[in-house]
Structure 1
């Protein structure tokens, strides 16, 4: 299994849980929960693949659908929907962070494989990381997290620059990407804990 496939799988599972938790928090019905989970898990990857002129992964492989359905069943069995005060809880923050970082990495890798320039790599990494969550938030009438959250989209941009730099000096391999992944998760959790925000004009 390639590093790109691993990043995609981790991102899909994590964002499926994130979409599930948000949907339950917003009191959506069972169809709304499925739509929220699927949009969050697949939205960013579909945007990435279309821009990179690839057939979206979910249209050529059954594994992503199986992963999301299995994740939803497990989430229901373990009663993750009973978590109170959702957005202040580690379960949501951690799954959303893992999905964000994993998809930022997969977006950067696809862009590099497609011979995108530096701007293309950064933008595709960002769009892959935030695409699913943004689509979900728009559908359920929430302000997308990337527009107001603590150091959210900036994490994807930082990760893309680190991958570009690493590719310039070292061979990108699973160990390198695992290190970048751990760094991204820790950075996001620190930013959340310390309430780091990008400056605003108000």
Structure 2
């Protein structure tokens, strides 16, 4: 499925860059930077593939690993690690958003291929999108972005739900997927800049 491959490539590139930024902020050494980038980009997909009873794509194809290595290498060459307040920069927010939406789409598509019900499709979209980042943040002793950030997980859940409904209505192809992608990216960026949050208890 070409749509799935495109979503995987975009998500891997974007989340590898996001993981690189987080690692730099935490002042990790070179190995730590690679581990943070790999976990962010590939961790959610590994969990997704295990849940859907698939051979992990990362372990059967070299492309994801090469993409992460390429992102880290060029980020160092271009001295992106010299930037201050990285997580507040536009390019960090955009890369993280692209990764979130792309992996939400790939997770939902694999859930649909596995004939999961609506709960399974939505959950797989969420796990694929945020799983790697959650593991990374736990290792770095940070509160996962999923639990604190503006509509972060909510965007992933909505993308999964929309794609499940599309499948029930026999809506498929590049245009519907692009529409979902644009919707997800737009909603996440709008929520970030408007500081929208889900209600908190207390």
TM-score range, shorter chain: over 0.9
Q: Which residue does the alignment assign to 1:100?
A: 100
Alignment map for 1:1-202 (pairs within 5 Å): 2-202=2-202
| Equivalenced residues, count | 202
Structure 2 unmatched runs, 5+ = none
- Structure 1 residue runs of 4 or more that deviate by more than 4 Å after TM superposition: none
- CA distance in structure 2 between the partners assigned to 1:166 and 1:76 by the alignment: 41
- CA distance in structure 2 between the partners assigned to 1:83 and 1:150 by the alignment: 24
The CA RMSD over aligned residues, in Å, is 1.0
| Structure-2-length-normalised TM-score | 0.97
Please report how far the alpha carbon of residue 171 of structure 1 lies from its aligned counterpart in structure 2 after TM superposition.
2.8
- CA distance in structure 2 between the partners assigned to 1:96 and 1:143 by the alignment: 16
Please report how far the alpha carbon of residue 170 of structure 1 lies from its aligned counterpart in structure 2 after TM superposition.
3.8
- CA distance in structure 2 between the partners assigned to 1:40 and 1:144 by the alignment: 12
| Structure-1-length-normalised TM-score | 0.97
Structure 1 unmatched runs, 5+ = none
- CA distance in structure 1 between the partners assigned to 2:152 and 2:98 by the alignment: 12
- CA distance in structure 2 between the partners assigned to 1:123 and 1:39 by the alignment: 19
Please report how far the alpha carbon of residue 80 of structure 1 lies from its aligned counterpart in structure 2 after TM superposition.
1.3
DSSP 3-state at the match of 2:7: helix
- CA distance in structure 2 between the partners assigned to 1:59 and 1:87 by the alignment: 30
Residue-by-residue CA offset, 1:147-191 (whole Å, 9 max, x unaligned): 111110000001111112222224321221111111110110000
- CA distance in structure 1 between the partners assigned to 2:160 and 2:38 by the alignment: 25
DSSP 3-state at the match of 2:53: coil
